[in-house]
A and B are shown apart, each in its own frame.
Chain A
Amino acid sequence: MGRKIKKYLRIIAALQKNNLMSMMAYKQNFVIMTMAVIIFMAMNIIFLQVIFGYIQNIAGWNFYEVLLIIGSTMIIEGLLWIFGARVGALGHLIRNGELDGLLAKPADSQFLISFWECDHEDFPRVIIGIILICYGLANLNLDLETVLANLFFYLILLINAIVITYSITLLLKTIYFWTIADYSLYNFLNAMSQISQYPTDVFVNFFVKSIFTFIIPLAFAATVPAKILARGFDWKLVVGSCTVATVFFYLSRRFWQYALKHYTSASS
């Protein structure tokens, strides 16, 4: 077990290094991409600022609490982009018939495809996310002891949230095995990340709320971790988050294996 973990950590390190090297070949593009990410983040924060210029809260969440949600989204997505480009490699690997080479390698195929490509230019997401969370926490009038206790559970839920967001992404991207959906899936993922920046408590309709909690579990993607951080431990949320993370990871793995079984290569 220990050796296996070591092997996979070495693979991640090697993939990170390769990606970084090929990215540095186009330094100019890397700089522009990094700036683009920062501009995108800034526009979202300005939107929030303007809206909160007119209102005091969204479904009971004040400005600083909403910052915790947005900050969490940025950290989760930032890490997913940095370590695996949100499974970005899958589309073109299938299209160009290059997936076969990856499948032949002596490591788990889902693992490889998930870490194959990295978008290092997304590192500002993580940094801005952490800054927003610190700024939000500092303005929430919580004492240090509460913050530290909340932070512990927050980190657990954040890991769950990363697993959930990753699993949804893989479930969607696996559709590539059957259809060339080009940029439209990216569009879909974008829509999801846009929604997960705001408190899912706005859904008062039971039916719609259930959809966003269990079918497209965006509630657990950022709102729930932020809620624990701002308002303290709630066992129902912790259990819910762990369950949804486990179920979705299992589903994404099963779907991946099912897709592989039906895969007929595009190359000869």
Chain B
Amino acid sequence: MGKYLLIVKNTIQENLVYRFSTFAVFVGETLVFVFFFYLWTSIYSSGQQIGSYSLKGIISYYLVLNFIFLTTKNNNTAWIAGEEIRRGELTNVMLKPISYLGYLLSHAIGRLLYCLAIYSLVYFFLLIALRNYIDLPNNIATILLFTALAILGFFINFFVAYLVGIMAFWLGQIIGLNFAVMSLVTFFEGGLMPLDLLPNFVTRINDFLPFKYVVFVPISVFTGRIGFSWELFLIPLGWVLFLLFLVKIIYRKGLKKYEGYGA
């Protein structure tokens, strides 16, 4: 456990070196949010409405979405894994007494803690500034449930990214696969728009996929559109365990194909 904590700590320090990166990502994501803020305001001020969402509801959705993209989804696990496998650098990790999954997970957790430290502060002020435009949760239970779901979402997102990354055992290059999967996942998790705006058949497909638990479900809990139920918590937990099982099997299979050239 101690060695993994060390990786977490190192990742945080590493991120502190690349402050400019953090800043650029933040400015980029914020520009998108500012744009959507005006887009929705423009639509609603001309008397139009998107589904059952009020202007407050839709702005809240995109604000929390922004937060999730900057924290639980803000790691490039797929890319790191893909490159390390392609360049044969995985061998360096294999020679150490740590598991590759644990190594990358510690990396992602370090990054998450770093992002949380920065963006919690930014969002604290943002929420106060925008309090008249958004629906804030009015009780601690909602915030706790949101936090628990966001953590489960972090793990689902991580395992999917890891799965894409270790496809490098078979594909060599995963840039294309990563781009394709991310486009689809962003859509199915509710990263482009709230999922309850989509036609019914998409919702039905989505019930068989884990992605909505990364973005849509946590946000809807936060904004009060979904109330507490045990399924809400147990289904994503089931997905996390299933994905953990799945990535372990696939990694073992991939390792048999691994040649480690370049290392």
Contact = CB atoms under 8 A, between A and B. Distances in A.
Interface in A192-229: 192, 194-195, 198, 201-205, 208, 216
A28 interface: yes
Interface string B15-38: 000101111110111011011001
Given A29-B173, A50-B198, A194 B32 contact: yes
B18 A36 contact: no
Contacts, number: 125
Contact of B187 (A43, A175, A183, A194): A43
A111 interface: no
A113 B171 CA distance: 29
B90 interface: no
Interface in B5-60: 18, 20-25, 27-29, 31-32, 34-35, 38-39, 41-43, 46, 48-51
A206 B36 CA distance: 16
Contacts of B29: 187, 191
Interface string B182-225: 01101100001100011100000000000000000000000000
B176 A29 contact: yes
A252 B32 CA distance: 24
Contacts of B21: 181-184
B180 interface: yes
Contacts of B24: 181, 184-185, 187-188
Interface stretch (A53-61, A126-134, A231-239): A53-61
B65 to A, nearest CB: 13
Nearest to B180: A36
Interface in A1-56: 26, 28-37, 39-40, 43, 46-47, 50-51, 54-56
Contacts of B184: 39, 43
B125 interface: no
A194 to B, nearest CB: 6
A204 B35 CA distance: 11
Contacts of A40: 179-180, 183
B227 interface: no
Given A51-B50, A184-B24, A121 B193 contact: no
A190 interface: yes
Contacts of B51: 54
A179 interface: yes
Interface residues of A, number: 49
A190 B27 CA distance: 12
Contacts of A205: 38
B179 A181 contact: no
A171 to B, nearest CB: 13
A179 B25 CA distance: 14
A33 to B, nearest CB: 4
B50 A54 contact: yes
A58 B193 CA distance: 16
Contacts of A187: 24-25, 28-29
A180 interface: yes
B78 to A, nearest CB: 12
Contacts of A201: 42
Interface in A156-184: 175, 179-184
**Residue from the set B18, B31, B50, B184 with the largest chain A CB neighbour count within 10 Å:** B31
B180 A35 contact: yes
Given A184-B20, A195-B32, A204 B172 contact: no
B79 interface: yes
Given A57-B46, A194-B32, A184 B177 contact: no
A219 to B, nearest CB: 12
B28 A190 contact: yes
22 contacts: A26-B172, A32-B180, A36-B176, A39-B180, A40-B180, A47-B187, A47-B192, A51-B193, A54-B49, A54-B50, A57-B46, A121-B176, A181-B24, A184-B18, A184-B23, A187-B29, A188-B28, A191-B32, A198-B35, A202-B38, A203-B38, A204-B38
Given A35-B176, A56-B48, 10 more contacts: A33-B175, A33-B176, A43-B183, A54-B48, A182-B21, A183-B79, A184-B20, A194-B32, A204-B38, A204-B41
